[in-house]
Amino acid sequence: MPTGALTYAVVTPARNEADNLPRLAATLRAQTLPPTVWVIVDNGSTDETADVADELRADERWIRVLRVPGESTATRGGPVAAAFTAGIEVIPRPVDLVVKVDADVSADGKYFEGLAREFQADPRLGIAGGTCLELEDGEWRVRHATGNRVRGATRAYRRECLSDVMPLELRPGWDGIDELRAASKGWRSATIPTLVFYHHRNVGLRDESRWRRLFEVGRSAHYSGYRPTYLLLRSLFKARKELAAVALLGGYLSAAIRREPRCNDEAAVSYLREQQSLRRLPLRAREALGRRA
């Protein structure tokens, strides 16, 4: 382990990930800065995930396995946040960083050392992750994010920042609300361009319908306090390549008509709306196109 490096623990919520866990295990074993512990949280799997996790634990003392009640895959977001929270609670000793890593992720051997170095260089960095690459037409392509968004497939939290955003919202969009809370409390979130990870299952691939997934994203946007005009523009922007993006509007309007609950963290909502203001739209558009300054 590099001298003076920050310590970190990895938590992986895993539901039906028997095929993916061995690849992630190989990634973690290869790290120049290894985790102090890897907590695999079996979230109601119906495949061989539990057996694979137990085999990995038998081979490595730094691996722990936790089982929590699973829920239907139709309930998105909440079960993942609950599993992640359960994993955090069994980390055996304090660490500098807690990293949520999905089972369908891989990276090179210096990925986590690079992440730790970013946190060490910036005391206000609260949440960070690498640049996401997904396979499309046989090529690994960057999936761009807007603003300070950090991809949910692998995101590291400074311990103090994690304490500030807990408890996590047990609902879809939880991994956006925590960033808003962090920002409202003075923490910075960042995607590190020079660090890349490979996401072997494209976002939403498990969903029965792409339309349904984006409908739920629209509902989450309503909960988070999105500006309606911003969501409209986002939907139209995405609809250039994917007609299903109009479901974002459907989900938002459905939630509004039914008067579904909204996030009661005023500071977080205020920060979100400021980032979606008219004067920031050109910046958001450049970010969506991968043209950050």
Q: Provide the pLDDT confidence category of residue 284 given band limits of 50, 70 and 90.
A: low
Mean pLDDT across 214-242: 86
Q: What is the pLDDT of residue 241?
A: 81
Q: What is the pLDDT of residue 292?
A: 53
pLDDT: which is higher, 213 or 286: 213
Q: Provide the pLDDT confidence category of residue 283 given band limits of 50, 70 and 90.
A: low
Residue 225 has pLDDT above 80, yes or no: yes
Per-residue H/E/C for 55-119: HHHHHCCCEEEEEECCCCCCCCCHHHHHHHHHHHHCCCCCCCEEEEECCCEEECCCHHHHHHHHH
Q: What is the pLDDT of residue 127?
A: 98
Q: What is the pLDDT of residue 120?
A: 97
Mean pLDDT across 248-264: 89
pLDDT digits (tens, 9 = 90+) for 96-147: 999 999 999 999 999 999 999 999 999 999 999 999 999 888 899 998 776 6
pLDDT digits (tens, 9 = 90+) for 149-191: 899 899 999 999 999 999 998 888 888 899 999 998 999 999 9
Mean pLDDT across 5-30: 96
Burial class (CB in 10 A: 0-12, 13-18, 19+), 79: buried
Counting residues of the chain whose pLDDT is more than 70, the rounded percentage is 89
Sign of dihedral through CA atoms 32, 37, 42, 48?
A: positive
Q: What is the pLDDT of residue 126?
A: 98
Q: Provide the pLDDT confidence category of residue 73 given band limits of 50, 70 and 90.
A: very low
Q: What is the pLDDT of residue 76?
A: 52
Residue 1 has pLDDT above 60, yes or no: no
Q: Provide the pLDDT confidence category of residue 3 given band limits of 50, 70 and 90.
A: low
Q: What is the pLDDT of residue 24?
A: 97
pLDDT: which is higher, 56 or 173: 56
Mean pLDDT across 60-74: 78
Query: Where do the domains of the chain lie, and which CATH numbers do they carry?
Result: 8-199 (3.90.550.10), 210-288 (no CATH)
Q: What is the pLDDT of residue 63?
A: 97
pLDDT: which is higher, 14 or 285: 14
Give pTM, 2 decimals.
0.81
Q: What is the mean pLDDT of the chain?
A: 87
Counting residues of the chain whose pLDDT is more than 90, the rounded percentage is 53
